[in-house]
Amino acid sequence: MDILDDLKKLHDKFVELNADEVWLVSLREKEKEIKALMLVQNFGDNPAIKQLRDLLKEETRACNVLLTNDENLDEVQRGRLFERKRAYLKLLSFFSSDDQLKVLHEEIKDNLEEYG
């Protein structure tokens, strides 16, 4: 079932149980988070974005290879490579919403079971 459908069911259940406003606000915030993640997921399907992700992955691998194999790097050069690698990984994290959506969906399903 769709995550937004499950969230709606949970919201309706909380309304039925006369849940306090804190719970309902929490669900609205969760809905915003889910929609933002879904937007990122759809954005990631764009061919240009896929190309960017591939480039970032390749650059990350290149940093790893240099850090592992180049014994002539001084501490400043190593530090710069680590900074670049962190930046690439941070950018890549913006495109990985699938796992986050799965976790959120499991939380919603667990709540539906508990309160359903």
Number of domains the chain contains: 1
Query: Residue 96's pLDDT is what?
Result: 78
From CA 19, how far away is CA 17, in angstroms rounded?
Answer: 5
Residue carrying the six token digits 């769709």: 2
Query: Residue 39's pLDDT is what?
Result: 86
Domain span holding position 71 = 3-115
From CA 51, how far away is CA 46, in angstroms rounded?
Answer: 9
Query: Residue 44's pLDDT is what?
Result: 76
Residues of the chain scoring pLDDT < 50:
none
From CA 102, how far away is CA 107, in angstroms rounded?
Answer: 9
Query: Residue 7's pLDDT is what?
Result: 95
Query: Residue 1's pLDDT is what?
Result: 58
